[in-house]
Chain A
Amino acid sequence: MAIKSYDAIVIGSGITGGWAAKELTEEGLDVLLLEAGRNIDPNQDYSEHKMPYDVPYRGLTNVRFMEENYPIQRQCYACREYNHHLFVNDRENPYTTPADKPYLFFRGRHVGGRSIMWGRQVYRWSDLDFLANEKEGIGIPWPVTYKQIEPWYDHVETFIGISGMKEGLPHLPDGQFLKPMALSCGERILRRRIAEKWRGQRVVTIGRTAILTEDHKGRAACHYCGPCEQGCITRSYFSTLNSTLPAAQATGRLTLRPHSVVRALMYDKDSNRVVGAYVVDGVTRQELELKAKIVFLCASTLESTRILLNSANPRYPNGLANSSGVLGYYLMDHLYGSGASGEYPGLEEYSDLGRRPNGIYIPRFQNLRGQDAKYLRGYGFQGGSHRAGHLGGFQLPSLGSPLPPGFGASLKEAMKAPGGWSMMLAGFGECLPDKRNKVEINKNVTDKWGIPVLHITADWYENDQAMYGEIREVAAEMLEAAGCKSVRTFGEAKPAPPGKGIHEMGTARMGNDPKTSVLNKWNQAHDIRNLFITDGSFMTSSACQNPSITYMAFTARAANYAVEQMKRGEL
């Protein structure tokens, strides 16, 4: 049977694959969207409204089952008893690392990918970020400036709906915001005191988040049930399923194929083009050859690079589109795991009702004008201030949290009383691109589908360590300035293993020079004109902001560029 050839194959249906599919279909292309995992049925797979008593272990998970099947994934804050089926089974999806350098690779393989479980924080980059490598003399320069990306930030933000507060900061540009979520009492006081003490040099703002605070394009405003990572039946936060996939499907030009594990890309040496993908059917294990005029690799930072490395051929012996030799190198994540928390007395008469799935943000304030810190680049803080306890808004108790003394009726009565206010700040630091952080193919280990896996080598270095230590002290300093008591720092020893920030970036970086980069400024492979990579692999530096909105903007831009080029007959 002849299989239809498509205008474009998009590999991966997560945050960037959904965007590529939407833009390409809306511009008139017939698109085949390949997803390695299964389909998702929101009615069955979403669990955000499940109560603890609706799951056997009340949210604590079956520890032994998780240790056996999800030993890596269970270390992700978002992987819970309610939604572990949205994370990969680690036994089916292995990878290897050096024994002394653990790496945490958190993955979802299903339609929508990690857009279903993502953290939803969205911060634009500015030229402080796009000029990072030039200024510091590290890595290679970015081939783009903020002005070139700005309209694409507008484009994606307008479509997906993000909420936030305008602050007018040049280094963290305002976006197309719906009304901001509210600050709690503690957060408002923190905002004021930090502004006073540091004379506006440090700013506390509400998290900018891809959650609707108003009805938007057929999706409902958030109703504050809380655990977004478990799905959203009202489609209030952005995910592929909630937003871009329906738009792509509405064009009538999208073919979605789940259970399609891409082993490698098909390459035609005569034309030096990719012509499709070798796909292992996830259910039948049958190998298919699916063809298209252009390919968008959106399989996620490390999976896209894995596909290219597994696509090596005589023309590109070190991996497809890898004449530069940098494919697989310069892996980055955000420095994560240190900060401070404390009690916040004096607000006992104020309540804090509802479960706001968002925190506060303190944009980077180090090294903004020249070098004023003992390390390069900088970090921002995320955190929040809330009142503990069961007060109306209903917070789930956690096992092992402090309890009132004694037992019996007096304990039961005391448990009804709301707890105290507290405050927490955790840093997210910029990671420098470093050639020592890399991925290769481990030919000796294959996944469930017989495909060789990645060997990941990543660690933190001097700059990261220096920044990590300071984050704790500065967090504590700000909490004390705000009036917190019993302030304690966390993340005392080494930073969490790379990957724990779940902001893996790089390994197929973009740049102007084909000798030192895989992609050009349009996310197009220097070597192979009809191949685009728009997931986090393209990142040339990491900044310190959550990266997904930037991936979306670059994906939309690349897709529109690709269509233009096709129309001109250039592709």
Chain B
Amino acid sequence: MADQPALQNIDRRRVLRNLSAVWAAAAALPSFAGLSAEALLAAGKSIHQHVARKAAPASRTLKVFNSHQNRTVTALCELIIPQTTTPGAAAARVNEFIDIYLSSLNPSKRLEFLEGLQWIDLRSHELFKKAFVEASAEQQTELLTRLSIVNSAETATGQSFFKLIKSLTAFGYYTSKIGIEEELNFQGWVEYKGCTHPEHQG
């Protein structure tokens, strides 16, 4: 570690300082002992995101979902686009997008989604004897896997709901600030240069 460049040490100190400042907010942190500077920076970034979520203004008032529906949708979205090295659908508040989107639809279209959501809980009870949000991560993954595989044996209602929420989750995530800036790493507009390849010229 002695030959680390000075800048990186400063960055690491800054991360550590920030970490100590937010210690209280971060409940289940891994031990930092023995981590490389890179791992520390990654951990720091993750904590920043965690804190940013905590510190962000209270969630927008929901227009369609009750709190149980909201938790179910949030869990489904995060399973579809999870946090990896970048934040997932829950951090991007895709559930809130789906809520406001549904609120703009005609009642029959909205009902289609809500009935699908209800189906998820019914099926979860059949399979695991508990509501979807109460099921373990493995069980949740199992249900979505049953719905997403080719030649799924699940009902048409279940399969079409999965397609719908997957589509809404992907759209909601990749149109969010997190999706565009952090995941797609959008850096700004680029000039259209088009084709400059001699092999495509006549």
Contacts and interface: CB of A to CB of B under 8 A. Distances in A.
A58 B180 contact: no
A416 B170 CA distance: 12
A57 B104 contact: yes
Nearest to A221: B191
Interface residues of B, number: 43
B167 A187 contact: no
B175 A408 contact: no
Given A403-B166, A409-B82, A63 B105 contact: yes
B171 A407 contact: no
21 contacts: A53-B177, A60-B101, A181-B194, A182-B196, A183-B195, A187-B195, A188-B195, A189-B200, A195-B202, A224-B190, A225-B189, A354-B193, A394-B184, A399-B167, A400-B167, A407-B81, A409-B82, A413-B84, A415-B170, A415-B174, A416-B183
B144 interface: yes
Interface residues of A, number: 55
Contacts of A398: 171
Given A57-B104, A408-B141, A354 B192 contact: yes
A220 to B, nearest CB: 12
A445 interface: no
B25 to A, nearest CB: 25
Interface in B158-202: 166-168, 170-172, 174-177, 180, 183-184, 186-187, 189-197, 200-202
Interface in A402-426: 403, 405-409, 411-413, 415-416
B139 interface: no
B166 A407 contact: yes
A64 interface: yes
B148 interface: yes
B16 interface: no
A263 B197 CA distance: 58
Contact of B82 (A196, A355, A392, A408): A408
Interface string A39-54: 0000000000001110
Contact of A53 (B80, B175, B201): B175
A58 B172 contact: yes
A72 B107 CA distance: 21
B105 A182 contact: no
A184 B166 contact: no
A63 B105 CA distance: 6
Given A64-B106, A224-B190, A225-B189, A59 B180 contact: no
Contacts of A59: 175
Q: Is the interface of B mostly helix, strand, loop or mixed?
A: loop
Contacts of A67: 106
B79 interface: yes
A416 B84 CA distance: 13
A65, A407, A409 interface centre (most CB from chain B within 10 Å): A407
A400 B104 CA distance: 17
A373 interface: no
A417 to B, nearest CB: 12
Contacts of A413: 84
A403 B170 contact: yes
A188 B201 contact: yes
A79 to B, nearest CB: 16
A185 B193 CA distance: 11
Contacts of B197: 185, 350
Interface of A: 51-53, 56-65, 67, 181-185, 187-189, 191-192, 195-196, 223-226, 350, 353-356, 390, 392-394, 396-400, 403, 405-409, 411-413, 415-416
Interface in B93-110: 97, 100-101, 104-106
B95 to A, nearest CB: 14
Closest 5 CB pairs of A and B: A182-B194, A354-B192, A52-B175, A192-B202, A356-B192
B45 to A, nearest CB: 17
Contact of A354 (B82, B88, B170, B191): B191
B84 A354 contact: no
Q: Which of A196, A394, A399, A412 has the most CB of B within 10 A?
A: A412
A255 to B, nearest CB: 38
B173 to A, nearest CB: 8
Contacts of B184: 390, 394, 416
Contacts of A393: 190, 192
A64 B174 contact: no
Nearest to B92: A53
Contacts of A355: 189, 192
Contacts of A56: 100
Given A397-B170, A407-B148, A63 B104 contact: yes
Contact of A57 (B88, B101, B106, B200): B101
Given A64-B106, A411-B81, A353 B101 contact: no
A202 to B, nearest CB: 14
B189 A61 contact: no
A392 B193 CA distance: 13
Contacts of B101: 57-58, 60
A556 B191 CA distance: 33
Given A52-B180, A403-B167, A408 B80 contact: yes
Interface in B63-113: 79-82, 84, 88, 97, 100-101, 104-106
B106 A63 contact: yes
B104 A185 contact: no
A354 B202 CA distance: 24
A60 B100 CA distance: 11
Given A58-B172, A353-B190, A355-B189, 11 more contacts: A51-B177, A53-B180, A182-B195, A191-B202, A224-B189, A350-B197, A354-B189, A407-B81, A412-B88, A412-B183, A416-B184
A192 B200 CA distance: 8
A192 B201 contact: yes
Contact of B200 (A188, A196, A223): A188
A224 B194 CA distance: 12
Interface string B7-34: 0000000000000000000000000000
Contact of A356 (B82, B180, B183, B194): B194
Nearest to A405: B148
Given A63-B105, A399-B168, A411 B191 contact: no
Nearest to A350: B197
Contacts of B196: 182
Contacts of B174: 390, 397, 415
Given A185-B195, A224-B190, A412-B81, A61 B104 contact: yes
A407 B79 contact: yes
B52 to A, nearest CB: 15
Nearest to A403: B170
Contacts of A57: 100-101, 104
B193 A406 contact: no
Contacts of A225: 189
Nearest to A52: B175
B201 to A, nearest CB: 6
A58 B97 contact: yes
